[in-house]
Amino acid sequence: MELDLVTYAVPFLLAGAKTTLLISVFGVALGLPFGIALAVIRASKNRMLSRSADIYCAVFRGTPMLVQIFVIYYGLGQISAIRSNPVIWWIVGHSLHAAILAVVLNTGAYTAEIFRTALLSLPRGLIEASQACGLSVWATFRHVKFPLAVRQALPAYSSEVAIIVKESSLASTITVLEITGYAKRLMSETFAIMDIFIITSAFYLMMNVISLTSLKLIERKLSFGK
Amino acid sequence: MSFDLWVLLVEQGWGFALLRGATVTLAVGLLGMLAGVIVAVPLALLRWRRLPLFSQAVDGYSILVRGVPGLLVIYLLFFGSIEWVQRLATAFGYQNSADSAYPFVIGVVAIAAISCAYSIEVFRGALEAVPVGLLEAAKSLALPRYVTFFHVTLPIALRLALGGLNNVWQMTIKDTSLVSVVGMQELMRSAAIAAGITRSPLLFYCAAAGMFFALTAISQALFSHTERFFNRGFSRG
């Protein structure tokens, strides 16, 4: 691998990494609360609500994210009500915003699944104890269920974060130039396919290592006594 | 609107184009998954046996492919091979057949390469989860090593691997959509073509989503059935 190629490719990929990071950060910052909310709705007593959240999760987990991103970016623009609404059009009509929306909607469904299993695995006794103490539903959730479920869900969620970073590459299919988008461009420009692949992989692996270690640290902090 | 739908899907034949795309998707998914699993089993064994060098190489492959987006792997395989495939095909005079078969073959190879990396982890985990007591029991019966492997370790490991393999398959069938980016005529590509010509992307991408959903839902149902079959006689943990 020539040094020239590396010095040529790295600035482009760094610019792409910024976009990848932006999409991923939004994916976590918006997708995590959205997913937790979905998980809570799925566990709710209201059949209508829990049923529709179930369907939402099944649809977003059962279809490829590429289709979702295309429906959002190319499909929704066809509806004139969406085009005329400035707020929605700002989200859907802009490729980067549409990509972020797709990532958030997609990861929300997977996150909900992770937190749903975590909430289901909580020991009955603890919840009964908090009810016996007269804690309200909200207080039970806020002080008993949620802290325990987070600790339970964190290992699975950290692999979801790695998936978010990878899925953000699909933004390149709707003209957003993130790492993979630049990699494709560099491949067709320089014809050094393998070299570009190796440099790009190094970027992704680095991002994975950073996100996984930081989540490991949070995990260690949350699991007291060890 | 319903009249438009009829014209678009049936009279203009786009519905059939999508269905044809769906069969290609299914074919690529199945072939890719099959090839991936066939390659993954021996690699997982190497990894499980901790054979020096081989074990590290398998690990490196698995970590690399699982760590980078599938799209990038597909770009590598397509752009990386197109030149010498063309040269080879021209040299032997198979230019036309190479042009038509090339996306499909490389598509299967790419999907296999991705699903293989995930399958290795599944098989390795399953092999490591085989209870030690059973292996010790086999040893105390003085069973030869290959008998222990083929009659104790492997059947139990395969049963344990079933759930993980289902996850890999669900992921694989969804990953086939990525191959459309390099021009293979599967479900997603058919939908994109139909959307472009008829100028109704919403309808066709939603239709593609529906077909993908049907594929994953049907395979999930089939899998649950299979799992029940293989888990008969075992208590539900």
Closest by Cβ to A78, choosing from B192, B201, B213 = B201
Q: Which residue of A has its CA nearest to B220?
A: A62
Query: Structurally, how many domains does chain B consist of?
Result: 1
Residue B235, in any domain of the structure: no
Closest by Cβ to A169, choosing from B72, B180, B195 = B72
Domain holding B133, by residue range, is 2-230
Asked if B202's CB is within 8 angstroms of A67's CB, the reply is no
The residue assigned the tokens 């089939």 is B222
A16-50: per-residue pLDDT in tens?
999 999 999 999 999 999 999 999 999 888 999 99
Asked if B71's CB is within 8 angstroms of A201's CB, the reply is no
- Using a CB-CB cut-off of 8 Å, the residues of chain A touching B67 are 162, 166, 201, 204-205, 208
Please answer whether residues B124 and B50 qualify as being in contact, where contact means their C-beta atoms are separated by less than 8 angstroms.
no
B137 vs A80, higher pLDDT? B137
Helix (H) or strand (E) holding A119: helix A95-120
The residue assigned the tokens 């073509």 is B193
Q: Which residue of A has its CA nearest to B175?
A: A64
Whether this model's ipTM surpasses 0.95 comes out as no
Per-residue model confidence (pLDDT) at position B82:
78
User: What would the mean pLDDT of A151-167 be, rounded to a whole number?
Assistant: 91
User: What would the mean pLDDT of B63-91 be, rounded to a whole number?
Assistant: 86
CATH number of the domain enclosing B38: 1.10.3720.10
A171-219: per-residue pLDDT in tens?
999 989 999 999 999 988 888 888 899 999 999 999 999 998 998 898 8
B167-212: per-residue pLDDT in tens?
999 999 999 999 988 888 889 989 998 888 888 888 899 999 999 9
User: What would the mean pLDDT of A129-150 be, rounded to a whole number?
Assistant: 90
Per-residue model confidence (pLDDT) at position A62:
93
Residue A1: which pLDDT band, with cuts at 50, 70 and 90? low
- Using a CB-CB cut-off of 8 Å, the residues of chain B touching A201 are 64, 67-68, 72
Residue B98 pLDDT greater than 80, yes or no: no
Residue B23, in any domain of the structure: yes
**Measured over all CA atoms, what is the biggest interatomic distance in chain B, rounded to whole angstroms?**
74
Give B160's contacts (C-beta < 8 A, 6+ positions apart): B125, B126, B129, B130
Per-residue model confidence (pLDDT) at position B33:
95
Per-residue model confidence (pLDDT) at position A132:
92
Residue A225 pLDDT greater than 60, yes or no: no
Residue B208, in any domain of the structure: yes
Output the CATH code of domain A3-222: 1.10.3720.10
Residue B30, in any domain of the structure: yes
- Using a CB-CB cut-off of 8 Å, the residues of chain B touching A169 are 69-72
Residue B129, in any domain of the structure: yes
Residue B1 pLDDT greater than 60, yes or no: no
Residue B202, in any domain of the structure: yes
Number of H helices, E strands in chain A: 11, 0
Asked if B69's CB is within 8 angstroms of A204's CB, the reply is yes
Residue A58 pLDDT greater than 60, yes or no: yes
How far does CA B57 lie from the centroid of its chain? 21
B6-54: per-residue pLDDT in tens?
777 777 778 888 899 899 999 999 999 999 999 999 999 998 888 888 9
- Hey, where are the domains in chain A? 3-222
Q: How far apart are CA B67 and CA B77, in angstroms?
A: 16
Per-residue model confidence (pLDDT) at position B181:
86
Binding-site residues on chain A for chain B (CB distance < 8 A): 58-59, 62-68, 70-71, 74-79, 162, 166-170, 172-173, 180, 183-184, 187-188, 193-194, 197, 200-201, 204-205, 208
- Using a CB-CB cut-off of 8 Å, the residues of chain B touching A166 are 67-70
Residue B131 pLDDT greater than 80, yes or no: yes
Residue A224 pLDDT greater than 70, yes or no: no
